[in-house]
């Protein structure tokens, strides 16, 4: 029902501002009203026990699944708890949201955690918006891969999540490969300040004594980040890049239910996509 504001806006604009162009202005105003009502609208969650905003449900579901993934390896380690705390800190959650996140993480550790039910309700609350759902899965994949490996229990849970959200096995496998490549790419050497420092070292101008050149990001990883291959033509690579940038646009994701606190996570992902594309273009000599 996100068209109600547009209809009302067109009617009021047509009547009050006069004519068709007034109606168009009303539609624009109604569109922003629809977006805001959607963001602030409440959704049902039988698991979390109360009505929540879509953004609050996104955050709580994220931390509940994190707890479930941590427990899947047998026991929750101090590293798992620290990782959850780091994410809370990174998202700059206020005290109430942090408490809710901690409670959700604890609930996720329970042996009877109803993963399919929780994810099904999450999917319904998100209006089955595929870019938002894929972003959620990517976040969980990143969490599971923080220790550098993905065991069978973690992979099984991740696929259960993906399958419940309507993501096929081939799509899931490609997403795993893309996330793993993105993590390797992120740890690579691509920032201009490092290049400048290396140039100073090679020219004898760096006197820090302990500087060592970081490893550069792999071109193969750059292709994997975009989900393309080295043999793909420029137009194919460009389409993949534009599609991913559109799917990971922070403002668009927030409008669809992503908590504003997670904008930095979305921005970082978009930066990785941009950096991967730039590296491919540079290697290929594309403009």
pLDDT tens digits along 74-128? 788 888 888 888 888 878 888 888 898 999 999 999 989 999 999 999 888 887 6
Same domain, 157 and 228: no
Residue 213 lies in a domain: no
Query: Given pLDDT bands bounded at 50, 70 and 90, which one contains residue 41?
Result: low
Residue 25 lies in a domain: yes
Residue 145 has pLDDT above 80, yes or no: yes
Same domain, 65 and 141: yes
**What percent of the chain is modeled with pLDDT above 70?**
74
Q: Angle at the Cα of 39 (from 34 to 41), degrees rounded to 5?
A: 85
Same domain, 161 and 187: no
Residue 48 lies in a domain: yes
Q: Which residues pair with 43 in a beta bridge?
A: 52
Residue 136 has pLDDT above 50, yes or no: yes
Could you tell me the residue range of the domain that residue 25 belongs to? 3-37
Q: What is the pLDDT of residue 130?
A: 84
Same domain, 138 and 226: no
Domain count of the fold of the chain: 3
Q: What is the pLDDT of residue 31?
A: 45
Same domain, 48 and 116: yes
Specify the DSSP element, H or E, that contains 42. strand 42-43
* Average pLDDT value over all residues in the chain: 77
Same domain, 29 and 80: no
Residue 205 lies in a domain: no
Tokens linked to 279: 């590296």
Same domain, 139 and 235: no
Contacts of residue 274, Cβ cutoff 8 Å, sequence gap at least 6: 245
Instruction: Give this prediction's pTM.
Output: 0.70
User: What would the pLDDT profile of 213-261 be if each residue is shown by its tens digit?
Assistant: 445 567 888 898 999 999 999 999 999 999 999 888 888 887 777 777 7
């Amino acid at each position: 029902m996100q068209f109600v504001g547009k209809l009302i806006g067109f009617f009021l604009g047509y009547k009050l501002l006069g004519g068709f162009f007034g109606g168009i202005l009303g539609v624009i105003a109604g569109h922003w009203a629809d977006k805001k009502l959607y963001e602030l609208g409440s959704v049902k969650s039988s698991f979390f026990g109360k009505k929540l905003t879509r953004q609050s449900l996104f955050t709580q579901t994220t931390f509940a699944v994190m707890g479930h993934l941590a427990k899947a390896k047998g026991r929750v380690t101090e590293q798992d708890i620290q990782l959850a705390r780091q994410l809370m800190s990174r998202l700059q959650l206020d005290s109430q949201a942090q408490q809710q996140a901690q409670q959700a993480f604890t609930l996720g550790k329970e042996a009877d955690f109803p993963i399919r039910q929780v994810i099904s309700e999450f999917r319904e609350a998100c209006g089955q918006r595929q870019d938002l759902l894929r972003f959620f899965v990517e976040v969980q994949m990143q969490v599971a891969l923080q220790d550098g490996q993905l065991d069978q229990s973690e992979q099984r849970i991740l696929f259960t999540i993906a399958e419940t959200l309507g993501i096929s096995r081939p799509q899931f496998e490609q997403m795993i490969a893309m996330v793993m490549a993105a993590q390797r790419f992120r740890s690579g050497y691509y920032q201009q300040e490092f290049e400048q420092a290396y140039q100073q070292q090679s020219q004898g101008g760096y006197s820090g004594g302990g500087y060592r050149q970081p490893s550069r990001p792999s071109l193969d990883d750059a292709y994997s980040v975009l989900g393309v291959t080295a043999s793909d033509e420029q137009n194919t690579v460009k389409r993949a890049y534009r599609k991913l940038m559109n799917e990971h646009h922070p403002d668009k994701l927030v409008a669809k239910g992503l908590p504003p606190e997670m904008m930095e996570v979305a921005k970082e992902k978009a930066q990785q996509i941009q950096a991967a594309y730039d590296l491919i273009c540079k290697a290929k000599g594309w403009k």
